[in-house]
């Protein structure tokens, strides 16, 4: 029987392109469950992100600075290898709908197969944020829809500026 570590470090991975209030809700709730929560941006250029990894980590740092036990970084490669390198024994994942659960379950089982010592904790999305995804936020914003309340105000401003630049280039 393994013992609980003296300090529990969790890793919350994602693309965060951009961070939404749903992500922030999970960060806030997750930070209460562990000693340290590392929010880690996945470097996956095949997804053609709107914001660079550096921009996403800057946005995250800006909005999580109010949580003293939360830090931000980025990674590429296997998530479980990154978790081990950072001393994390827990992966934090959010679930919005049944479709998320099916995907997350597959990932959790594969992660467990790779590194059995790392546990995955699922938090259900707050119902107020259960429909929000970065993809939907970007789509609505690109069509000049109202995204206030879906992302932090500083992120909304960056998103509007970025989409405005893209529209001007394409015009």
47 is catalytic: yes
88 exposed, middle or buried (CB, 10 Å; 0-12, 13-18, 19+)? buried
Active-site residue, 96 included: yes
Catalytic residue among 31, 40, 134, 158: 134
User: C-alpha dihedral over 153, 155, 156, 158, to 10 degrees?
Assistant: 130
- Going edge to edge, which strands form the sheet with 36-42? 70-75, 36-42, 9-14, 90-95, 119-124
Distance CA 100, CA 29 (A): 19
Q: Is 23 among the catalytic positions?
A: yes
Which helix H or strand E contains 94, and what residues bound it?
Answer: strand 90-95
Instruction: Give me the helix-helix angle, 53-64 and 153-170, nearest 10°.
Output: 160
Tell which residue, 78, 9, 10, has the closest CA to residue 42.
Answer: 78
**Which one of the listed residues 23, 56, 82, 138 is annotated catalytic?**
23
From the candidates 36, 43, 61, 96, which is the catalytic residue?
Answer: 96
> Which residue bears the tokens 């590392």?
38
Determine the Cα–Cα distance for residues 71 and 6; give it in Å rounded to an integer.
Answer: 19
Catalytic residue, chosen from 47, 135, 144, 165, is: 47
Residues designated catalytic: 23, 47, 96, 134
């Amino acid at each position: 029987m393994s013992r609980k570590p003296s300090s529990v470090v969790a890793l919350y991975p994602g693309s965060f392109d951009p961070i939404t209030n749903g992500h922030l809700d999970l960060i806030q709730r997750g930070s209460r469950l562990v000693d340290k929560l590392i929010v880690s941006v996945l470097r996956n250029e095949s997804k053609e992100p709107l914001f660079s990894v550096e921009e996403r980590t800057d946005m995250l740092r800006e909005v999580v600075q109010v949580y003293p036990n939360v830090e931000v970084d980025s990674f590429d490669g296997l998530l479980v290898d990154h978790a081990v390198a950072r001393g994390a024994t827990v992966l934090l994942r959010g679930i919005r709908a049944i479709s998320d659960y099916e995907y997350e379950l597959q990932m959790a089982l594969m992660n467990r197969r790779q590194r059995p010592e790392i546990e995955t904790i699922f938090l259900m999305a707050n119902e107020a944020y259960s429909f929000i995804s970065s993809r939907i936020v970007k789509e609505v914003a690109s069509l000049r829809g109202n995204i206030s309340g879906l992302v932090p105000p500083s992120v909304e401003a960056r998103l509007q500026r970025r989409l405005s630049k893209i529209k001007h280039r394409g015009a």
